[in-house]
Every structure is written in structure tokens, then in C-alpha cells.
Amino acid sequence: MFQKILVAVDTSKSSKQVFDTALSLAKANNASLMLLHVVSEEELGSPTPILPSLEYYPSVYEKNMELYQQQREAFTKQGLDMLRSRHQEAMAAGLNVEFRQLSGSPGRLICDFALAWKADLIVTGRRGRRGLSEFFMGSVSNYVLHHASCSVLTVQSPAQPAEKLQSAEREVSLGYKSSN
């Protein structure tokens, strides 16, 4: 049924579940597997870009930019290490597997890459953001569902207690993070 499966992964813990699902599907269909990680500011754990207002203080701005670049390089390396590890796991399972790491807007790049690679299925995760947190932080899976040129399977990450989701939405709407 599926011959080319693109799996969009990130560095989160729930991404392993997405990978495992794609791996099972690829084995069942004897399909090729493409692992794709998109480095972006939207990804959890990604370094925060420097505020433009610091440009008025050149020495502070330069130090902050240098620190940001170091953090970005470390985050990019973490993504590549994750891809290599999952690549090895898929190879050990006897699959034809490749991986790529791109930088930019995750939803758009996943859809563009799937089209160029001629994927017939995209497997991606879904964190279950709702309300304001989805509005402000976006939803990669929602974008992919509405713009992909092929079938899409979303893998729901483990549910968070409603209290945590409400707290996260409140933090986003108020612009701060509580100490809880």
C-alpha cells in the first residue's frame, strides 16, 4: 500500500513513538523510510533568538549572538545525533532508510519535502495543543494535514492532564511562565 513513508521527527520524547509507528508501517509494507528533522525556533528546546533591541548595545549584542550561535549549533547537532540513531535502528530492522535535516518552517518544509521525495504517507506527531497555545505557537501537524500532497498519519503524544494544558494556555496568553 505505502511505498515511501516520510516520518517527521524532532528531539522531543514523544517523537520516539512517532518513529516507532512509522517503522512498523514501513516494515509491514516493505516501504522506504525517510527521516526528516526540521530545525526551527518552534521546536521545544530550541534556543531563543536574540531580541533586536540589543543591537543598540554592540558588545552585549555580539556576545549574545555568539552564545545563540553556539546554542543553535549544539541543538542542530543534537538533531543530527537523533537522526543517526534512528537511522541505525531502521537499518537494523532491514529497511531502506535515509535521513535529512533542514532548517526553516516545519510544516511547509515537511509538505515540500514530501512532494519532492514523492512520499505516499507522512507520519507526524501531534502534541494536542488547543485554544490560545495552538494559535500563538502554531500546529505543525495541523498545517501538514491541510497542505500535504499525500496521506498523513498523526500520532497523538501521551495526553497531558487538563490542568497542565490549561496552565500552558494561560502562560501563553499572559506572556509568562509560572514557577509550578
The CATH number for 154's domain is 3.40.50.620
The C-alpha atoms of residue 40 and residue 75 are separated, in whole angstroms, by 10
> Is residue 100 within 8 Å of 76, Cβ to Cβ?
no
Give the chain's domain count.
1
Which run of H or of E encompasses 105? none
Q: What is the pLDDT of residues 152-178, one digit of tens each?
A: 999 987 655 554 555 555 555 555 554
| Residue 99 is assigned to a structural domain of this protein | yes
- List the domain range (segments joined by +) for residue 145: 4-174
Domain membership of residue 20 (yes or no) is yes
Does some domain include residue 179? no
pLDDT digits (tens, 9 = 90+) for 90-102: 999 999 999 999 9
CB atoms within 10 A of CB 123: 26
